């Protein structure tokens, strides 16, 4: 699945181009605008999380509807391995597709080079977590429309609890939720990019976010067999093609 996902992404030149160009078209004007740094930072964070969540969930639902997942899983491919490789490849591909706009944001924001590494790691962690969240949502919905609504809701709530939209009171439950949010490093990195500072180093401050990100991945993989079964059921429930007689 890892190899298949990469080959599929690289061979679809038109879609690959859109996934590289659209982030630049949307985010570069924001970076060049006179908007305040916190506002620009929020836009960056929202885009990254939406990019990963939708990019994982919508294709999973689409493949389930078209029966592609059924063809893979009925070969005996392990469901958890199927999903794990798909999530890993999806997060890696998303990171590569966002690399051009991320470089531009770092240059426009005149971010200190010391912040480049932590920024890339924060974006990668956020994309991996967002892909896992998207796969969980794909297990719970039955259509692309439901998936879009659920992804938007989940992503916005996750961003809210990561401190993107507000600053919680120190010591409160909101503050504690923010400290362990896997999207907090992204929010802080985007704050640094928008303000042009060096950025935090990866250390013990990332322990909580890494633990929650790992727990999210475990949850996604624990649902993989159910996701696989729903994929097979969805494909079998489709009416046959009138021309070929096949499902």
Give tens-digit pLDDT for 50-101.
999 999 999 988 887 777 777 777 888 888 999 999 999 999 999 999 999 9
Confidence of residue 243 (pLDDT cuts 50, 70, 90): low
Q: In Å, what is the CA distance from 50 to each residue of 40, 47, 66, 74, 158?
A: 16, 5, 24, 31, 11
Would you give the DSSP letter of residue 240? P
Q: Is the pLDDT of residue 208 over 80?
A: yes
Confidence of residue 247 (pLDDT cuts 50, 70, 90): very low
How many angstroms separate the CA atoms of 151 and 159, rounded?
A: 12
Q: Is the pLDDT of residue 18 over 70?
A: yes
Confidence of residue 241 (pLDDT cuts 50, 70, 90): low
pLDDT of residue 73: 79
Confidence of residue 202 (pLDDT cuts 50, 70, 90): low
Do 134 and 55 meet the contact criterion of CB atoms below 8 Å apart? yes
Can you read off the two tokens belonging to residue 8?
């599929």
How many residues comprise the chain?
Answer: 247
Whole-prediction pTM: 0.88
Q: What is the DSSP string of 190-206?
A: HHHHHHT---PPSSGGG
* Percent of the chain predicted with pLDDT > 70: 88
* CA 5 to the chain's CA centroid: 15
| Tens digit of each residue's pLDDT (9 = 90 or more) over 150-185 | 999 999 999 999 988 887 778 888 888 899 999 999
**Residue 38 burial by CB count (10 A; 0-12/13-18/19+): exposed, middle or buried?**
middle
**Residue that is written with structure tokens 């046959």 in the block:** 240
């Amino acid at each position: 699945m890892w190899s298949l996902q990469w080959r599929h992404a690289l061979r679809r030149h038109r879609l690959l181009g859109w996934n590289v160009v659209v982030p630049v078209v949307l985010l570069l004007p924001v970076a060049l605008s006179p908007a305040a740094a916190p506002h620009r930072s929020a836009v960056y964070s929202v885009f990254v999380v939406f990019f990963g969540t939708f990019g994982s969930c919508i294709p999973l639902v689409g493949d389930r509807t078209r029966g592609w997942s059924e063809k893979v899983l009925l070969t005996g491919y392990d469901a958890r391995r199927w999903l794990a490789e798909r999530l890993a490849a999806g997060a890696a591909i998303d990171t590569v597709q966002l690399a051009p706009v991320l470089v531009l944001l770092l240059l426009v924001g005149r971010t200190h080079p010391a912040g480049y590494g932590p920024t890339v790691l924060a974006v990668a962690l956020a994309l991996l977590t967002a892909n896992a969240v998207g796969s969980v949502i794909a297990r719970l919905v039955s259509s692309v429309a439901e998936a879009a609504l659920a992804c938007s809701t989940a992503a916005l709530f996750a961003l809210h609890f990561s401190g993107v939209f507000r600053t919680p009171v120190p010591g409160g439950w909101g503050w504690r939720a923010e400290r362990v949010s896997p999207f907090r490093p992204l929010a802080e990195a985007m704050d640094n990019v928008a303000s042009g500072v060096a950025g935090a180093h990866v250390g013990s401050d990332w322990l909580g976010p890494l633990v929650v990100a790992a727990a999210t991945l475990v949850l996604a993989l624990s649902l993989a067999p159910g996701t696989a079964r729903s994929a097979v059921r969805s494909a079998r429930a489709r009416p046959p093609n009138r021309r070929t007689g096949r499902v």
